[in-house]
Structure 1
């Protein structure tokens, strides 16, 4: 009996010891299991050419919103349109151990070298809008360049009188950039199908607005120009400056691709005819999805493939749309908070449509005034040169005539 009691005590001691050991081991196992379930979110880098571009601001807003919901860390680098700075940006992103880099090359010629550097570091790379020559990319996301060129050219052919000889300037931009080449080629194909059109193409390295203005000046020195097509909205700014100075804004048809704030402001002011919206909101959405897929799983949901020399590149092509004055409302949300507000030069406030093809002599803001209750009219007149004069007179305006002094009248409107 005594022996049985001793055995029971020993057994109880062993059980207690086992329980204590298990109590120490099990929490440790649980901690290890919990730690195994925590997966750090990947880092994604965006190396953009210039964050001052309105399209890039829209793109960043879209990416930032998506990344915030997913808890993904996105690192942004702005080259400020400097190729050397972009090389430094790439090295910074590599030091920050990003898994994927979205690249918008400042200089398309330098793109292949940057991509080789990223590939050597075993970092995935997706390019935005530009397809560098013969480069092993993991992805390419771009607007539909061929469609953009087609829309711009068809707009011009529809606006010009059928069968009447006309002269069209095609500002190709930087032809080292695949985007510029593709838009220009598509526009050429449409314009070339109209025998009455004479097409003159020129290049503008780095999409320099001043070079675009110089091209228009040179063309005008040789004779009248009927239309200008630009592959990028940055170019159209220089074009409009020249046409405004010469009083030809209503005479020459203008259309470009990009729909940045300056171009949209000119469109709203009646100084510009049409823009092709390349949908930076969709570009941002698809770029983020592609980068996240590659960072997490090594694959992404592309919808086509494009050739880059010896390589077949997974790609996603974003649809574009033509923006005219009557459908600019489509861009209200897209451009919210991106860049300065649209500029509206040479237009009195509150004016409606054009009257007899003239911008001058526009009256407005009629109302009651004066101590004796007489009706007064405030006239706000803006000249083509941008000078504004306000005059307040008693009575109502019955008729306003605009007569040029000291020279011939400008060319008529379309």
Structure 2
């Protein structure tokens, strides 16, 4: 994680530009407790977010109470209730459902607890901050890569995530920003998948391939769905004929890139994202200023937002992730 931590330092220095002078002259901060409610810990990316926060909790005099909702809205409701009962100083929430979680935010605010949304926006509620990867740029990078690989011509499909999730919308908007300029790129299908289900994505790929056997590219909002597509392509011996690109750069996707079974993924740098959320939360809870990138309209509210960087990963730079995924070394250096 050395390279990731170096990059983190540069980003956090930027976040702190407006606050560092005050912090240096301030007394040692009192200890605070942050509750973190994650939609799921099943995906690789969330483990790196957790690692980032726990790596830095001691140096920031912070306790963390971590909750995993396991993609269950009822469980997340109970988790948040418990965090409120424990009187945490602030709550970071990654919602199971961006719409249904609005009631959770209102409950947290009624308890006078600051709330920060991580990775997924919670619709039409007042948040103290929102931290997200540059999802629009994810879509731009994906589409540019696919267009270049296809030499600006061919049929493609888009595997979208959950329609109740702003991340899926933003990535797809980035895709469309590029594709609308490409007269010879034809989107034959774009399908939502509830819960970002790879099983549903697999069914979509099988169905579309039956209707359009001449498809040339598959693009997905995350790594799990694109790996479902790769599974189908391997069965049909089509991995060399159809370009695939996903997002998250999880372990399975990165190993597939190294093996030549998958073409590219966008790394959303989860360690950086988790650390940024953690540091901003500590600043908010201690009444410190922090440097946001933009303010976004969220229904009736305007939310200060920090956007973290992303990077395209393919066979030429997959080596950059060998510290994150040590298994890559066995493939790259064999």
> Normalization by structure 1: what TM-score?
0.70
**2:155, 2:185 within 8 Å by CA — same for their partners in 1?**
yes
- Asked if the contact 1:153–1:187 (Cα under 8 Å) also holds between the matched residues in 2, the reply is yes
Secondary structure class of the residue paired with 1:254? strand
Whole-angstrom CA distance in 2 between matches of 1:180 and 1:257? 11
Specify the SS of the correspondent of 1:190: helix
Counterpart of 1:173 (choices 156, 161, 183) is: 161
Shift of 1:329: 2.0
Matches within 5 A, 1:34-183: 40-162=30-152, 164=153, 166-183=154-171
Structure 2 residue 327 is the aligned partner of structure 1 residue 313: no
Output the CA distance in 2 between the equivalents of 1:325 and 1:168: 21
In structure 1, the gaps of 5 or more residues are 1-36, 353-414
8 Å Cα contact 1:265/1:343 also seen in 2: no
- Displacement of 1:126 in angstroms is 0.6
For structure 2, which runs of at least 5 residues remain unmatched after alignment? 1-26
Query: Partner residue of 2:315?
Result: 325
Closer, same or farther in 2 for the Cα pair 1:264/1:186, shift >3 Å? same
1:6-405 equivalence runs, <5 A: 40-162=30-152, 164=153, 166-199=154-187, 200-223=189-212, 224-297=214-287, 299-335=289-325, 341=327
Cα shift at 1:300: 3.3
**Quick one: higher RCO (CA 8 Å, sep 6+), 1 or 2?**
2
Q: How far did 1:193 drift?
A: 1.0
Encode CA deviations 1:137-178: one digit per residue, 9 max, x unaligned: 00000000111000000000000134x4x1110111112100
> RMSD in angstroms over aligned alpha carbons?
2.0
Deviation larger for 296-305 or 219-228: 296-305
**SS of the residue 1:68 aligns to:** coil
Q: Is the 8 A contact 2:322 2:329 kept in 1?
A: no
**In 2 relative to 1, CA 91–298 (structure 1 residues): closer, same or farther, beyond 3 Å?**
farther
Q: CA–CA distance in 2 between the matches of 1:235 and 1:343?
A: 25
Deviation at 1:269, TM superposition (A): 1.2
| Alpha-carbon displacement from aligned partner over 1:321-361 (angstroms, at most 9, x marks no partner) | 1001121122233446xxxx5699xxxx8997xxxxxxxxx
TM-score (norm 2): 0.87
Change (3 A) 1:242 1:117: same
Contact 1:48/1:105 (<8 A) preserved: yes
Asked if structure 2 preserves the Cα contact closer than 8 Å seen for 1:47 and 1:86, the reply is: yes
SS across alignment from 1:330: helix
Instruction: Single out whichever of 102-111 and 298-307 deviates more from structure 2.
Output: 298-307
8 Å Cα contact 1:79-1:85 kept in structure 2: yes
Return the offset for 1:265.
1.4
What's the CA shift for 1:204?
A: 0.6
Take 1:96 and 1:299, find their aligned partners in 2: how far apart are those partners?
26
Radius of gyration: which is bigger? 1
